[in-house]
Structure 1
Amino acid sequence: MQALVNFFPLGNADTARLDLADGRKVLIDFAAMRCDDDEDDQRCDLPTTLRRDLDKAGRDYFDAVCITHTDTDHCKGFGDFFWLDHAALYQGKGRVKIRELWVPAAAILEENLKDDARLVRAEARYRLRQGKGIRVFSRPERLKAWMEAEGIDFESRKHLIVDAGKLVPGYTLTGPEKVEFFVHCPFGWRQDENTVVDRNEDSIVMQATFVEGGRKTRLLLASDVNYETLAAIVQVSRKHGNEDRLAWDLMKLPHHCSYKSLGPERGSNETVPDPDVKWLFEDQRQPGSDIISPSWPIPVKGSKADDDVQPPHRQAANYHRRITVAHDGEFIVTMEHPSKSDPKPFAYKITAFGFALALAAPMVAGTAAAASPRAG
């Protein structure tokens, strides 16, 4: 079977589901944001949509669930939807199981968490203690210190930790899954320099590379990092000769099309990117590449939303639209045109000729949605 990359209209929130060539399913973040009491809420019913897909596949689990960081817009509803091993209260009929939970080290180390973020931490800590069903991304010294204080043998858990610059075990281009995940962030050394945990900048950023018919298609999953972290990723990748690990055909924009993921200044009409970020967005994108903005619609100039400090930012979108047109690609906003009666996810199909939009796709600003494969 061919792999699919699925995105969901959830407002300013992230969830993506990767359906792999061998039938495995990997969920990147989980944010059940729809308000059922609001008839005009155009965000999709994420729990129902995901359960419907699992039922169709004849399963009650995801092979992996990656919570890139514990902000609400990346983990809301975690405790209502999933079967959690750490407490019987979160077990029972209808709950979806997680074979392997992926979290950044920050999700284990941060204190004073509440609600679903606290449950992500509790589940991750429990699985780390058990020594199974968990992948922790990066190994700052404070993680080792925390494990020692908890009586957890660090050496016997090292195989569960994935550092930046490494591949996630269990996924290869030559295996039946035909995908590999290269980790760019978080950086263990930077977490040691920070006095407090920085969720966004210590979140999981990775490149997923799919292969079909000998052709590679690369997806860059950028979580919510800002331009300084993206620039650091570029600099470290260049230093180690890993520029190819930043090539991309599909880009999940960081932080819901915020100017802060491009540069320090918002700008009046278009955000000017940091030089390293500019290289990432312009030189590393492949011909015909698409950008997906998991966000509310882009504000109109002069509107009330245009003055909002929260993303999406029109100036950032103007930059992304301009360079996307220059590279014969498309800029897709998840909340631009979802159906009010049945807001559905949309998917990219990975083919031997590139990628193609599949299923019901939202309209693309200024163009028609692609119907045929495009080379990456």
Structure 2
Amino acid sequence: MTAYLTFFPLGNGDTTLIRLANDDLILMDYANMRVADDPTDKRIDLPNALRDELDDAGRESFRVVAFTHLDDDHICGARDFFWFDHARILQGGDRVKIDELWVPAAAITETDLAGDAWTIRAEARHRLKEGYGIKVFSRPENLAEYLAEWDLTIEDRADCIVNAGELVPGFSKWDAGQAEFFVHSPFAWRTDDGLEDRNECSIVVQMTAREGLSESYALLGADIDYESLSQIVRTSRRHGNEDRLRWDVLKLFHHCSYKSLSPEKGEDITEPVEDVKWLFEELAREREIIVSPSWPIPAKGTPEDKDKQPPHRQAANYYKKIIRDSNGQFKVTMEPPTQSKPKPIKLKISAAGVAVVMTAAPTIASVASAATTRAG
């Protein structure tokens, strides 16, 4: 059976929907960035789009909702869209339920939060305390302190905690969903040392999707920089897990920022540090697909090109360079089919490989018979 990945046009905002072979839905981040009362805002109406996807899959809840970290461009509007078990005021109506919540440990331990971030932290703490419907990624010592306040230990909640270097329990490429998730980040040592940098403590996973004897891979993450990517590469190689970094689909980190490649932007192209270069050039499979969850790539010399914020033209030029010799594709969520009317980018994962099948209609039924353009 076929799986799908959908990337939504949200400006510099992340929301990735995974539809497994058994029609279970996994949502990586939720960023409803659109200004509802602004007719010029071309970003998608995310709540309606996701409800359409739920209806099309015949689901009333998400199997998983993962918040890779608590920055606004990954959680905006979550408090208004989801059903939260910890507070009756955040239940009822047409709110959508979350079967299992995935968060980095920093989402439990952070302080001085408000709005969506506060709500997600409260829900994560509630589920961890009660011991149901949550996976916390990494195992920092200060997480143990919170558990101790509830007369619990790390061992008491071991089933709720997943470390880097492990598969997320509950998923197998051999079961009905035909997919598994390998955790690359966050590293337990990073949060143990007291660091609370959201970007560098965010979730990064490799998804493996199987159909028949064929496997395809997607590298999915958030806003980590070149130093953390280098650490992931070195750790994976040290433990013989290079295969866990192979990819057919790469969702770019930090909205096509040069900082995910190198400390130096470059004049016309960003040259990555050695470990990152190896990841992106040696572990990419033939006809790979790179997706930048961002505003359109700025043209050289424009005001947007001088903006410190991503996307950065120089980084995009590097990604475009590496796909030339492998017949790959570079997609930007706010560009296709046109910048004036961007639509979701939907990828089909089948035994024949991964293919872009649509940048328009929201449902699976209309793309089920689309031809796959890549053989793994």
Query: Could you say which residue in structure 1 is the equivalent of 2:170?
Result: 170
Counterpart residue identity of residue 291, structure 1 = I
Alignment deviations for residues 302-331 of structure 1 (CA, whole Å, 9 cap, x no partner) = 111111110000000010111111221010
Q: Is 1:224 aligned to 2:223, yes or no?
A: yes
Query: Could you say which residue in structure 2 is the equivalent of 1:375?
Result: 375
Q: Distance in 2 between matches of 1:266 and 1:57?
A: 42
Counterpart residue identity of residue 299, structure 1 = P
Superposed displacement of residue 56, structure 1: 2.8
Query: Could you say which residue in structure 2 is the equivalent of 1:69?
Result: 69
Any conservation in 1 of the 2:204–2:221 contact (CA below 8 Å)?
Answer: yes
Q: Distance in 1 between matches of 2:349 and 2:90?
A: 35
SS at match of 1:273: coil
Greater alpha carbon shift after TM alignment, 353-362 vs 98-107: 353-362
Query: Could you say which residue in structure 2 is the equivalent of 1:142?
Result: 142
Provide TM-score, normalisation by structure 2: 0.95
Alignment deviations for residues 277-307 of structure 1 (CA, whole Å, 9 cap, x no partner) = 0000000101110100000000111111111
Alignment deviations for residues 71-107 of structure 1 (CA, whole Å, 9 cap, x no partner) = 0000011110000000011001200000000000000
Any conservation in 2 of the 1:10–1:31 contact (CA below 8 Å)?
Answer: yes
Query: Could you say which residue in structure 2 is the equivalent of 1:21?
Result: 21
Any conservation in 1 of the 2:249–2:290 contact (CA below 8 Å)?
Answer: yes
Superposed displacement of residue 58, structure 1: 3.2
Counterpart residue identity of residue 349, structure 1 = K
Any conservation in 2 of the 1:100–1:135 contact (CA below 8 Å)?
Answer: yes
Any conservation in 2 of the 1:296–1:312 contact (CA below 8 Å)?
Answer: yes
Q: Distance in 2 between matches of 1:152 and 1:51?
A: 37
Q: Distance in 2 between matches of 1:59 and 1:208?
A: 21
Any conservation in 2 of the 1:40–1:340 contact (CA below 8 Å)?
Answer: no
Q: Distance in 1 between matches of 2:50 and 2:338?
A: 18
Superposed displacement of residue 338, structure 1: 5.2
Query: Could you say which residue in structure 1 is the equivalent of 2:364?
Result: none
Superposed displacement of residue 341, structure 1: 8.4
Superposed displacement of residue 141, structure 1: 1.1
Aligned residues between the structures = 368
Q: Structure 1 249/361 Cα, relative in aligned 2: closer, same or farther at 3 Å?
A: farther
Q: Distance in 1 between matches of 2:210 and 2:373?
A: 14
Identity of aligned residues (%): 54
Superposed displacement of residue 45, structure 1: 0.5
Superposed displacement of residue 336, structure 1: 1.2
Q: Is 1:289 aligned to 2:293, yes or no?
A: no
Superposed displacement of residue 352, structure 1: 0.9
Superposed displacement of residue 371, structure 1: 5.5
Provide TM-score, normalisation by structure 1: 0.95
Any conservation in 1 of the 2:217–2:247 contact (CA below 8 Å)?
Answer: yes
Q: Distance in 1 between matches of 2:359 and 2:255?
A: 21
Any conservation in 2 of the 1:17–1:27 contact (CA below 8 Å)?
Answer: yes
Superposed displacement of residue 360, structure 1: 2.6
SS at match of 1:290: strand
SS at match of 1:99: strand
Greater alpha carbon shift after TM alignment, 280-289 vs 343-352: 343-352
Query: Could you say which residue in structure 1 is the equivalent of 2:317?
Result: 318
SS at match of 2:199: coil
Query: Could you say which residue in structure 1 is the equivalent of 2:264?
Result: 265
Q: Distance in 1 between matches of 2:82 and 2:337?
A: 26
Superposed displacement of residue 339, structure 1: 5.8
Query: Could you say which residue in structure 1 is the equivalent of 2:352?
Result: 353
Q: Report matched runs for 1:1-376 at 5 Å.
A: 1-194=1-194, 196-337=195-336, 343-360=342-359, 372-376=372-376
Superposed displacement of residue 272, structure 1: 1.1
The alignment's C-alpha RMSD in Å is 1.6
